[in-house]
Structure 1
């Protein structure tokens, strides 16, 4: 009798799984959507930890060449958007239907789940509104002396290193961006640029490194959030978060003992005032929310800018004509400067420097896909309506590599973004910072950091390839993480110009 019951249960369970699989397998067929046939367990995610998601997104775009593609996140149907018109609807026109992101770090990881990058409404709207003032042009101008000083330290370190080909570009430049992010965020003096070592650098190094377990954590956070609390995965390594929390509390205590003005000097002042004002209004903001914003500001500021500098430097080594033109523009700007220093406004107006930066982000978008989740049943176009709860991925990097929008997309060609050519670029085919209300809040900060670093580098060094190094289009990307960053050491030689 017992064996009979077990048999009935197994048959019933097998039948349910089979029927569920059949129904799932037909989800996009019934809607007439081109799709990638799903793996019985992984769905469409068989690429995970084998290649960077941005590489996979480009392959999907070029394989299907359709406005949208049906995929499965394990057994959950999702949709990749390849159309700039539909992307505009999702990111801007119909934003209320796509306010929230699909990813989530869960309640077991408050620092990872409560920050501006991962949180959803109502917390996201509240934090976005209150933190936007941090990134105004006038606030950034206060950091010009810091940017000049750290850029000079970067040049000093390179000049005083005998074998300049030994630098791992990603780590060299994240030493530099760690200092800038840490000081602009928390007003603390750090020495990563000169030495590569600092307590804050210990934290950012942990933030940027991935092993199998952390790759698994991010896979769950981005593609299967319901697993996060079950296995207690975290967005950042837990020991690094705890270390960061200790440093953050010490810095806050020091700031409280100072005579603070009403003007916010840095991100820490903004966070502390936010906390104080909420208490006065009987709207208590938990410490975890404040700490979460501090952590994501540090993470977002150092890693994306550091990787952009790495890729730009590497491309310039292999594109000497581009480098020479950039040097000419920068040399003229420096000669015209009364004190020989760069002014933030002047740098932002240099057309070819901006074109080089924009072309770098076209090829190497830090997060090449923008996830959202449908709040309600949504009509994609006249043919397809998706049910509420369907995850959406706007395939930004796929469009960046579309030869109809960017001829010879594999070629590093900053001329695409010269003013006379940029006006012809189709709207919503260039999305390195996202678009709409949930676009990157730190866009101006990142642009400024990269401009300064690149300007000082090119003025002081002629950058050339080293023998045996891969050409830019053959560089490997990080496979276990989900951001588009170098997955192998990148080396160049720095030849002093003077």
Structure 2
């Protein structure tokens, strides 16, 4: 008996050692510079200790070259550091890189987490993307202008109320209240008054999305980087109580709107999702309730916090840049005068405000929501004449590294919207600026997010200027959230709002 156990253990150890030796040599055998590998966590010793975006920047600066090898546990992966290879992976040869590594890390018991456009892979991804594309047409987005205008007015009123009450204004929380209202109403038709009050039923749920304790951090790290752990520990992309809440809300709104066949009168994202389901049924495509709920939930998860964080970083940067604020204010004032003195400007007018859009682009250069773009090679692929990667290899395009490369963006730590002026934008090398991704799997909600930012900025900066608090940290000293997978501040962000005369 003991001899049998000893033999089995010896064979298992021999197999593990042989496998480990092969894994450890993977990149060296191919002549690829690589990170050190640990026998347990591979190259991911930074997880929960450093924001992945910050880590990607460090790796870009440390390993000068077109690519660098790493390991996800024992799984080889490749970080891409050049726009030329990024273009081939994301666009030219995108048929070989349609799937995301993230999509392999969703538990089989997590249909809402696994069926949304952000996480799912082919063939489901192609069908869902095709069905969702009409949701974000110009006409659909234009129909939601009224919602954004109303909530932008409430945002300015919220600031006024807090100033009267002599409250310090923490802008990330305030902007998250604002974006929760807009996206919650648009995606689920749920009335929410968090912009004015800071509270609503759906805001309670989105606050839970923003909690990055150890367990939440571990579950997201596993989903993004350690898929083998997901089914063992039954981690879920969304906390279970949030999916239960949204399922109840969805079924209630579905009944109120007459089911999938009812008349579509609201012109919001929920109407578009219900229409998508009805049309799929008519065409014999399988599109069940979970798929519809999954899209609405990822719009909220992916939209409310990323937009709120972008507004927060932008406002905080401008607090230290009064001259940029003045340029923005003058542009907004001129647009208001052209609009007959009416400050309620629609998306068409706001889209033409060159300098405001430069400010947004520069914010997204310094603070992209995700610092990297992950893909999986479906077939063996020649990276260059020196390297061919086998099918199944994970690739990370190091977007944030290129965003901070002084060869592409001189003085990259400086907040400089002028980089994106029409007369200078041609200087930006293609595929060195990718805040919304590139290629077929770029962010489908990009234009919706841009419009949310336009309306918020026009409402705020026509009425207020912003200044940093005494002894406030400079933007470059803000600590990024270490347990989050997205690029967001760990510090609270406070500024002073000064009413314009």
Please classify the TM superposition score into its range, dividing by the shorter chain length: over 0.9
Q: CA deviation at 1:261?
A: 3.9
Q: Please report how far the alpha carbon of residue 188 of structure 1 lies from its aligned counterpart in structure 2 after TM superposition.
A: 3.0
Structure 2 unmatched runs, 5+: none
Alignment of 1:387-398 (within 5 A): 387-398=390-401
Q: Name the stretch that deviates more: 4-13 or 287-296.
A: 4-13
Tell which deviates more after alignment, 211-220 or 428-437: 211-220
Q: Compare 250-259 and 184-193 and name the one that shifted more.
A: 250-259
1:332 pairs with 2:334: yes
The correspondence of residues 343-492 of structure 1 with structure 2, limited to 5 A, is 343-492=346-495
Provide the residue aligned with 2:311 in structure 1.
309
| 5+ long unaligned stretches in structure 1 | none
Matching of residues 28-39 of structure 1 within 5 Å = 28-39=27-38
Write the distance in 2 (CA, Å) between the matches of 1:463 and 1:221.
39
- Partners in 2 of 1:270 and 1:353 — Cα distance? 30
Q: How far did 1:282 drift?
A: 3.4
- The alpha-carbon distance between structure 1 residues 90 and 201, as it changes in their structure 2 partners (threshold 3 A), is same
Contact 2:257 2:263 in 1 (8 A): no
Alignment pair present for 1:205 and 2:207 = yes
Aligned residue number for residue 196 of structure 2: 194
**Once the two structures are superposed, what CA deviation does each residue of 1:432-461 show, in whole Å capped at 9, x if it has no partner?**
000111100000000010111112111111
Matches of 2:278 and 2:9, distance apart in 1: 59
Q: Map Cα deviations across residues 76-125 of structure 1 (whole Å, 9 max, x no partner).
A: 10000001000000000001100100113121111000000000111111
Question: Aligned pair in 2 of structure 1 residues 280, 12: CA closer, same or farther (>3 Å)?
Answer: same
User: Quick check: 332-341 or 447-456, which moved more?
Assistant: 332-341
Cα distance in 2 between the residues matched to 1:164 and 1:409: 37
CA distance in 1, matches of 2:133, 2:168: 39
Q: TM-score normalized by structure 1? A: 0.97
Instruction: Tell me the distance in 1 between the aligned counterparts of 2:20 and 2:60.
Output: 26
Report the equivalent of 1:153: 154
2:132 corresponds in structure 1 to 131
Aligned match of 2:179: 177
User: Which 10-residue stretch deviates more, 314-323 or 50-59?
Assistant: 314-323
Residue 109 of structure 1 corresponds to 110
CA contact (8 A) 1:164 1:494 kept: no
Mapped contact 2:188–2:253 kept (Cα < 8 A): yes
Structure 1 contact 463–494 (Cα < 8 Å) conserved: yes
Matches within 5 A, 1:313-324: 313-324=315-326
**Cα separation, 1, equivalents of 2:245 and 2:189:** 18
Question: For residue 83 of structure 1, what is the aligned residue in structure 2?
Answer: 82
What is aligned with 2:275? 273
Between the aligned partners of 2:166 and 2:80, the Cα distance in structure 1 is 43
When the two structures are aligned, how many residues end up with a matched partner? 497
Q: CA deviation at 1:465?
A: 0.5
**Deviation digits for residues 176-225 of structure 1, max 9, x if unmatched?**
01111122223332101001111111121112221111111111111122
Give the distance between the partners of 1:389 and 1:254, measured in 2 at CA.
45
* Kept in 2: contact 1:174–1:302 (CA 8 A): yes
Q: Secondary structure at the residue paired with 2:183? A: helix
Q: TM-score, normalised by structure 2?
A: 0.96
Question: Any idea what the Cα deviations from partners look like across 1:259-306, whole Å, max 9, x if unmatched?
Answer: 954677111112212222233333342211111111111112211111
Please report how far the alpha carbon of residue 12 of structure 1 lies from its aligned counterpart in structure 2 after TM superposition.
Answer: 3.0
